[in-house]
Structures are given as structure tokens and as C-alpha cells.
Amino acid sequence: MFDRDAPAPPRGYRDTIVAAACLGLVWPGDALIYVVLPLYASTFGIETAAVAILLSVNRVIRIVGYGWVEPLARRFGANTLTAAACAAGALSTVGYGLFSGVALLFIARLIWGGAYGVLNLTNTAYAYGDGTGAGTHLGLNRAVSTIGPVLSLGLGGANRRRPDRSGD
């Protein structure tokens, strides 16, 4: 998958959809943290100034970590790496719900950044394959993977507690 000289994998949709669904299942935590953390910083036990650092650290780790994805995929295989990244992404999201304080949330965001970096690159590699029908595969991949964040933002907003207006 990451070796230019290796034969391309079969061009079925299965790997593209499975990888996209994995990303779609763990991405909602990241989507919601961008809304929730700034609004409820004190609930997380952090100062407002720390919010920007916590929300951006995942992007920094991706820049640093993208170079590690290809060697790791060669060593462990793209499927194993994708599954590990999916598990790490899920754990980081659980961390958002359980942790408070800058240090633990910082670690959760670092884990998410690494997981998303792996998922982003492996999703692209699965979808692109040998290049045949790449546009269709990439479009399908992005459509499936973004269902999770779109639903989480919609449901998260709908689930937000409304003030009691019974006295109006």
C-alpha cells in the first residue's frame, strides 16, 4: 500500500469504506471538543488561554508524525496501523470525557493528533490504491468519514440543556 514498487491492492470498496467508517466513528470527539472546550474551559479545570494550545497541539503532532506513518505501515501493515489508530482515537475521546486539567487533556490531544494523522494517511492510501477510480474512492471515503462529525455536532447541539422556560 505504501510501497511504490509493490503491486496495488484490489480496487474493491471494502477497505475504503471500513477505513472511512473507522475514522467516522472516532472523529466526533475531535469535532465536539472544538465546541465544548472553549465554552466549558472552567469545567475542564483549565484557563481560557490554555484552550488554544489544547486545540492546536493535535495539528503540530501531525506535522511531526506524518513521516512516521509510512515506516510503521511497512513494519506492521496498514490494516494493523489503521486499527491501532482507531483504538487510540477512541481512547483520546474517552479521555476528553474523563480528564480535567491541562496536562491530561494535552496528552489526549497528542494521542488524537497521532491517531488522526495515521487515519488520514491510511484512508487516503486505501482510497487512492493504484489510482484507478481514485476520485470515486476518495469521494466515498470522505463522505463516509465525515458522517460521524456531522451527526455528533448536530446531536450534540440538540442535546444541549436548554434553560427552563416554564415560568415564561
167 pLDDT higher than 70: no
Residues counted in the chain: 168
Residue at 89: amino acid letter: G
Q: Whole-prediction pTM value? A: 0.82
- The string of pLDDT tens digits covering residues 98-155 is 999 999 999 999 999 999 999 999 999 988 887 888 888 899 889 998 888 888 877 7
Kind and range of the H or E run holding 2: none
CATH top-level class of 14-151: mainly alpha
Domain residue ranges of the chain, discontinuous segments joined by +: 14-151
Q: Which residue has the higher pLDDT, 19 or 157?
A: 19
H helical segments located in 44-146: 48-76, 78-98, 102-128, 134-145
The rounded mean pLDDT for the chain is: 85
At which residue does the C-alpha cell 497528542 appear? 110
